[in-house]
Structure 1
Amino acid sequence: MNRTPEDRIVELGLVLPDVVSPAGSFQPSVKSGPYVYTSGQLPIVNGKLVMTGKLGQTVTTQQAAELAAICALNALAAVRAEVRELSRVRRIVKVVGFVTSVPDYSDQPAVVNGAGDLLTEIFGRAGTHARSAIGVVALPRNAPVELELIAEIAD
């Protein structure tokens, strides 16, 4: 029996959350052609931002990698809302991670690996993706990490 991405999420001891409500005039995700583009997702659980702060100051790389994984789950919830089930995801095409950090912090890729590793665990080879890991001065609500992704969807 083939395990679905939703099955793998449960096996990992995780829960795919409800879609985080947008805090502005935008949609959590948009489907265009065979792709779903997510808006930036923050590490929000049960309606609350899990942690605030800046890498290299109050947030460790390990903590931020865990937050990036939460952002990835929130992004997958937005994808699922567009396509009904994650088994329709053919491939995670691109991940863009934004990391709030002090000027001399340079380990943003390790932070975004938290999301990438989780996506690979959920989707296997189809979870490997192109990506960018960008250090920024500030993110909404003083979040340490924000993540967006593009998923290719099978017909």
Structure 2
Amino acid sequence: MSSELATRLTELDLRLPDVSPPRGAYVPAVRSGSLVYVAGQVPMANGELVATGKVGGDVTPEEAYGLSRRCALAALAAAVSVAGRDAVAGVVKVVGYVASADGFTGQPGVVDGASDLFLAVFGEAGRHARSAVGVAELPLGAPVEIEVVFETSG
């Protein structure tokens, strides 16, 4: 992680989590050229899912916003793990999946948790293209899953 990125995370009182091992036949992140593609991240702590349920039902939109931030930090940790400590320079694309209760249409507000975190960490380099998608179910019963493409500097 670059000293600039490390400094910014410290200023924001954020710490990158350990990269969660995959629960399937994939890797957490892959670097291709100047891009790092991060597999979908669900809200984990110490290898365990921290929340289950559907947003707009068991999980409030405010809780899901925080879970989206947690997923974004996990995605950043995965990117750093493959790109090296000085390479992650910004965010290109975010796709957020929100397990949604019937009638819930606030997916963009939930995925704003990830987007807002990236803007706080990277400034203008954190601006990105984005999709926010409501789904019936997510792996392990997670309420939110965030997938990210990062830009690297070298």
User: Which category of TM-score, normalised to the shorter sequence, fits these structures?
Assistant: over 0.9
Instruction: Give yes or no for the alignment of 1:82 onto 2:82.
Output: yes
> Corresponding residue for 1:154?
153
Question: What code does the residue aligned with 1:11 have?
Answer: E
Q: Return the alpha-carbon distance in structure 2 between the equivalents of residues 46 and 83 of structure 1.
A: 23
Q: How does 1:1-155 map to 2 (within 5 A)?
A: 4-85=4-85, 87-155=86-154
**3-state DSSP of counterpart to 2:25:** coil
Task: Name the TM-score, length of structure 2 as normaliser.
Answer: 0.95
Shift of residue 89 of structure 1?
Answer: 2.3
Q: Deviations over 1:52-74 (max 9, x none)?
A: 11011110011000000000000
**3-state DSSP of counterpart to 1:56:** coil
Shift of residue 91 of structure 1?
Answer: 2.3
RMSD across aligned positions (CA):
1.3
Shift of residue 152 of structure 1?
Answer: 1.2
Number of residue-to-residue matches in the alignment: 153
Q: Deviations over 1:98-155 (max 9, x none)?
A: 0000231000000000010001100110011000000000001100000010011111
Q: Return the alpha-carbon distance in structure 2 between the equivalents of residues 28 and 53 of structure 1.
A: 23
**3-state DSSP of counterpart to 2:40:** coil
Task: Name the TM-score, length of structure 1 as normaliser.
Answer: 0.94
What is the percentage of aligned positions where both structures have the same residue? 48
Question: What code does the residue aligned with 1:100 have?
Answer: A
Shift of residue 4 of structure 1?
Answer: 1.4
Q: Return the alpha-carbon distance in structure 1 between the equivalents of residues 31 and 89 of structure 2.
A: 14
Q: Return the alpha-carbon distance in structure 2 between the equivalents of residues 84 and 3 of structure 1.
A: 12
Shift of residue 3 of structure 1?
Answer: 5.9
Question: What code does the residue aligned with 1:14 have?
Answer: L
Shift of residue 47 of structure 1?
Answer: 1.4
Shift of residue 90 of structure 1?
Answer: 2.9
Unaligned runs of 5+ residues in structure 2 are: none
Unaligned runs of 5+ residues in structure 1 are: none
Shift of residue 80 of structure 1?
Answer: 0.2
Q: Return the alpha-carbon distance in structure 1 between the equivalents of residues 144 and 89 of structure 2.
A: 26
